[in-house]
Amino acid sequence: MPKRMQDLPEEYLIHRRALGRAIGDRLRLRRNELDLTQEDLRARLEVEQVYISRTQYSRIEIGEVLPDAAQLIVLCAVLDVSFDWLLLGQSADAQTKR
C-alpha cells in the first residue's frame, strides 16, 4: 500500500474498496449486456482519446482501482449509462441516459 494511503482512517479505506467493487461490478454488467469484451470497450475508449491499459482496465473492473474523472465521463458515454447509475447504483430503470 502506498505510504500516503497508510495514514488514512480504516473506514475510508473500507468505503473506497466497496465503492471500487461496486463500480467495477456495474461496468462488467453493462459491458456484458452490450456483448463487449474488455478489449472492445478499451478500443471505444481510445476512439474518445481515453487510453487505459489492459491491466489498468481489468483492475478497475475487479475494484482494485477507481477510474479517474476523464475515464468516468467517457465510460458513461460509451456504455450509455448515467453517472448516477455507474457511481451510485440507481435502479435498472434509471440505468440508461435515454
SS3 state of residue 97: coil
Residue 78 in grid coordinates:
460509451
Q: In the chain, what are the domain boundaries? A: 9-92
DSSP secondary structure letters along 67-83: --HHHHHHHHHHHT--H
pTM for this predicted structure: 0.82
Mean of the pLDDT values across residues 41-46? 95
Per the prediction, the chain carries an average pLDDT of 88
- d(CA 60, CA 20) in angstroms, rounded, equals 7
pLDDT digits (tens, 9 = 90+) for 7-33: 788 898 899 999 999 999 999 999 999
On whether the 9-92 domain is CATH 1.10.260.40, my answer is yes
